[in-house]
Amino acid sequence: MSETRNGPILAGDAGKADAATEVRRQKALLKTGALQNAILTSANFSIIATDEKGIIQLFNIGAERMLGYTAAEVVNRIRPSDIHDTREVMARAQALSVELRTSIAPGFEALAFKASRGIEDIYELTYICKNGSRFPAIVSITALRDDYGEIIGYLLIGTDNSVRKQVELELNNAMAVAEKANLAKSDFLSSMSHELRTPLSAILGFAQLMESGSPLPTPSQKRSIDQILKAGWYLLDLINEILDLALIESGKLPLSLEPISLTEVMGECHAMIEPQAQKRDIRMTFPRFEIPYFVKADRTRLKQVLINLLSNGVKYNKVGGTVVVDYAASTPGRIRICVKDSGEGLATDKVTQLFQPFNRLGKETGIEEGTGIGLMVSKRLVELMKGEIGVESTVGVGSVFWIELNLTAEPRPGDAAAKTKAVAQAQVPADGRLHTLLYVEDNPANLMLVEDLIARRSDIRLLSAEDGNRGIEIVRASRPDAILMDINLPGISGIQALKILRADPATAHIPVVAISANAMPRDIAKGLAAGFFRYLTKPIKVNEFMDTLDAALKFSTTESARVNREKKT
Per-residue pLDDT tens over the stretch 168-193: 888 888 888 877 776 676 677 667 77
State the average pLDDT for the chain: 84
Contacts of 273 (CB under 8 A, 6+ apart): 284, 307, 310, 311, 314
d(CA 498, CA 535) in angstroms, rounded, equals 13
Residues 282-287, mean pLDDT to the nearest whole number: 92
- Indicate whether 525 pLDDT > 60: yes
Annotate 179-198 with b (16+ C-beta within 10 A) or e (fewer). eeeeeeebeebbeebbebbb
Q: Which residues pair with 285 in a beta bridge?
A: 324
Confidence band of 66 (pLDDT split at 50, 70, 90): very high
Confidence band of 346 (pLDDT split at 50, 70, 90): confident
d(CA 104, CA 111) in angstroms, rounded, equals 10
Predicted local confidence at residue 178, as pLDDT: 76
- Indicate whether 554 pLDDT > 60: yes
What are the φ/ψ torsions at residue 265 (nearest 5 degrees)? -65, -40
Percent of the chain with pLDDT over 90: 44
Residue 542's CB is within 10 A of a number of other CB atoms, namely 16
- Indicate whether 235 pLDDT > 90: no
Residues 32-58, mean pLDDT to the nearest whole number: 80
Predicted local confidence at residue 295, as pLDDT: 94
Is residue 307 within 8 Å of residue 273, measured between CB atoms? yes
94-108 pLDDT per residue, tens: 999 998 888 999 999
Predicted local confidence at residue 8, as pLDDT: 54
d(CA 213, CA 449) in angstroms, rounded, equals 13
Q: What is the DSSP letter of 510?
A: S
Is residue 239 within 8 Å of residue 197, measured between CB atoms? yes
Is residue 124 within 8 Å of residue 63, measured between CB atoms? no
The pTM of the full predicted model, rounded to 2 decimals, is 0.50
Of 53-62, 96-105, 346-355, the poorest mean pLDDT is in 346-355
- Indicate whether 7 pLDDT > 60: no
Predicted local confidence at residue 12, as pLDDT: 59
Query: Tell me, what amino acid is at 478?
Result: S
Predicted local confidence at residue 222, as pLDDT: 86
Predicted local confidence at residue 163, as pLDDT: 85
Predicted local confidence at residue 76, as pLDDT: 96
- Indicate whether 229 pLDDT > 70: yes
- Can you identify the CATH homologous superfamily of domain 46-160? PAS domain (3.30.450.20)
- Can you identify the CATH homologous superfamily of domain 417-568? Response regulator (3.40.50.2300)
| H-assigned helices in 81-161 | 86-100, 108-116
Residues 455-461, mean pLDDT to the nearest whole number: 89
Predicted local confidence at residue 237, as pLDDT: 77
- The CATH architecture assigned to 178-250 reads Orthogonal Bundle (1.10)
Q: What is the DSSP letter of 411?
A: P
Residue 138's CB is within 10 A of a number of other CB atoms, namely 16
What are the φ/ψ torsions at residue 178 (nearest 5 degrees)? -65, -40
CATH class given for the domain over 258-411:
alpha beta
163 vs 69, more confident: 69
Q: DSSP 3-state helix, strand, coil percentages of the chain (rounded to 5)? A: 50, 20, 30
d(CA 390, CA 215) in angstroms, rounded, equals 49
- Indicate whether 341 pLDDT > 90: yes
Percent of the chain with pLDDT over 70: 85
Contacts of 321 (CB under 8 A, 6+ apart): 282, 283, 341, 342, 343
185-219 pLDDT per residue, tens: 667 766 777 777 888 888 888 888 888 877 888 88
556: exposed, middle or buried (Cβ count in 10 Å: 0-12, 13-18, 19+): buried
Any idea where the domains of the chain sit in the sequence?
Answer: 46-160, 178-250, 258-411, 417-568
Q: Which residues pair with 325 in a beta bridge?
A: 339
Of 86-90, 114-118, 227-231, 437-441, the poorest mean pLDDT is in 227-231
Q: H or E element: which one contains 38? A: helix 11-40
